[in-house]
Structure formats: structure tokens, C-alpha cells
């Protein structure tokens, strides 16, 4: 296939309204268990909005002004919410065997998002400017130096600030966006067939159920 046609087709799928704002969902993919991913994404939105407001005013502001301090509290608690919902989502997805039926890359991107979230949040801890920042900066340096990652200088507040407010969030947002699109494009993994239900694939995805469409 011509690569420009390929890009065009993929982009059309990626940016389609059906991908992002569906009007119907499989019956099994509803309820609180299927809200955990959305709650994670919503926590990320709150993080980005509160983060933009903080970045616009600068590091001193969130330390000395009462509004800045309040906003910083929102940012802190939405990090907690983000990881809380993400870990619950991960558990739900794992116990569903959600990589079945050609969804391996969706899982891979989800875990990659979790992996990138750790330095994203950690560099934020280094931006607090308190004892916790000082202590974690000096504690983390030895491991990073030992792994050959001395370039990532936790003691350099300027570098950590840039990584925290731009580099990591942009990478994370990109991974989350592709992950969400893949969840939608591939469809949410169907339930494991029950003991008395026919199933004919290795992954346990029931292919014998007649098409509804």
C-alpha cells in the first residue's frame, strides 16, 4: 500500500468521532469497572489544567501565594487520584486478560504510560522545593548515575522543571491518546467464554457467537 494512503486511512480512524465519542458500547463493557480508565484520563486532565495554571505563574508562586498553594494541593491530590485509578484500571485489565484478540499493543502502551508516569510524577516531587525535594534529588542521583543516566540530573532544578512540565507530560499524553484510540478501535476485550459456552481460540475469545450486526 502507498504509505500516504496508509497514513490517511490510519489518521481517519484515529481522529474519527466514533473512536473518541462512541454512542454505544458492548453490554459487558459498562459499569464501575469500566469507569476506572476514564477516571484515570480525567485525573490526567485535572493534572494538566492545574499544572498549566501553576506553570504560568512560576515556581515561587505556588510556594508563597495562598491561591498557588491551594492549586498545588489540587495538583498533588490529582497525582494520587491518577495513580490510584490507573493501578485499579491495570488490575481490572490484567484480570480480564485484556490483551486477547490482538490487543497486545494496547496493553503494552498502557504499561508504558504507567512507566513514564513514574518519572513524570517524580520530577514533580523535585519541584516542591522543600526537604522532600532535596532528599529525593540526592537519593535518586546514585541509582541514575549507576545506570548510566547521569544526563538526568535530579539536582538540576532547571532541567527537572522542563522535564516535568513539558517533556514527560507531552510523551505521556501522546501514549495515553494512542492507548485510548487503540482501546476504541480494537473494541473492549469480550468476556472469557463461560464453561458451557463454545470457544475456539487460544486466547479464549469466543469467535462462535453469531454477529449482532
Partner 1 sequence: MYHPRTDVTHRYRYVSTDFVKHLLGTTLVVTVVTMALSAIFHEPVRPALKIDTYANQHPRTFMSVALNALNGQGEIADYGPPYNNGTGSVQDVVQKWVGIIHPVYPKTDFILNPLKQASHLDPQLTPALDAFEAAAPAQQTKWEAAFATALAHARVVSGQVLLPPGPYGPVGPMMQDMLKLGQSGLLTGALNRSPADYQFDNQNSLLFLQGRPLQDAASKLELQGNQWGIIHEENAPYPGPWWMTIVTAIYQIPFIANASAADALALGSGMFLFILLMVAPWLPGVNRLPRFLGIHRLIWASYYRKYQSASSKPPEQTP
Nearest distance from C-beta of residue 14 to partner 1, angstroms = 11
C-alpha cell, 30: 459498562
- Distance of CA 103 to CAs 70, 106, 182, 205, Å? 41, 5, 8, 11
Q: Which of 8, 11, 60, 129 binds partner 1 (CB under 8 A)?
A: 129
Cβ closest to partner 1, residue 5 vs residue 147: 147
Cβ closest to partner 1, residue 28 vs residue 174: 28
Does residue 142 interact with partner 1 by CB under 8 A?
Answer: yes
Q: Per residue in 62-96, is it b (16+ CB within 10 Å) or e — as a string? A: beeeeebeebbebbeebbebbbebbebbbebbeeb
Query: Residue 15: what are its φ and ψ, rounded to 5°?
Result: -100, 15
Rg (CA), the chain: 21
What lies within 8 Å, CB to CB, of 70 at 6+ separation is none
Does residue 12 interact with partner 1 by CB under 8 A?
Answer: no
Does residue 57 interact with partner 1 by CB under 8 A?
Answer: no
Question: According to CB under 8 A, which residues from 24 to 53 bind partner 1?
Answer: 24-31, 33, 35, 38-39, 41-43, 45-46
Question: According to CB under 8 A, which residues from 144 to 163 bind partner 1?
Answer: 144-148, 150-151, 153, 155-159, 161
Q: Which of 132, 166, 170, 200 binds partner 1 (CB under 8 A)?
A: 132
Contact (CB, 8 A) for 19 and 184: yes
Nearest distance from C-beta of residue 189 to partner 1, angstroms = 8
Nearest distance from C-beta of residue 96 to partner 1, angstroms = 5
Question: According to CB under 8 A, which residues from 162 to 181 bind partner 1?
Answer: none
Amino acid at each position: 500500500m502507498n504509505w500516504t494512503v496508509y497514513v490517511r486511512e490510519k489518521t481517519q480512524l484515529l481522529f474519527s468521532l466514533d473512536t473518541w465519542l462512541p454512542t454505544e458500547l458492548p453490554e459487558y463493557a459498562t459499569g464501575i469497572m469500566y469507569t476506572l480508565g476514564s477516571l484515570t484520563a480525567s485525573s490526567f486532565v485535572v493534572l494538566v489544567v492545574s499544572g498549566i495554571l501553576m506553570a504560568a505563574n512560576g515556581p515561587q508562586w505556588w510556594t508563597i501565594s495562598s491561591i498557588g498553594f491551594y492549586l498545588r494541593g489540587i495538583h498533588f491530590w490529582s497525582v494520587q487520584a491518577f495513580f490510584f485509578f490507573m493501578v485499579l484500571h491495570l488490575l481490572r485489565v490484567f484480570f480480564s486478560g485484556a490483551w486477547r484478540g490482538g490487543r497486545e499493543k494496547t496493553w503494552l502502551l498502557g504499561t508504558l504510560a504507567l512507566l513514564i508516569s513514574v518519572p513524570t510524577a517524580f520530577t514533580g516531587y523535585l519541584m516542591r522545593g522543600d526537604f522532600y525535594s532535596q532528599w529525593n534529588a540526592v537519593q535518586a542521583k546514585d541509582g541514575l548515575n549507576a545506570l548510566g543516566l547521569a544526563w538526568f540530573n535530579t539536582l538540576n532544578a532547571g532541567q527537572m522543571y522542563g522535564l516535568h512540565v513539558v517533556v514527560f507530560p507531552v510523551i505521556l499524553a501522546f501514549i495515553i491518546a494512542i492507548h485510548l484510540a487503540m482501546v476504541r478501535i480494537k473494541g473492549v476485550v469480550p468476556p472469557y467464554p463461560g464453561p458451557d459456552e463454545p470457544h475456539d481460540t487460544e486466547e479464549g475469545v469466543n469467535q462462535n457467537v453469531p454477529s449482532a450486526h
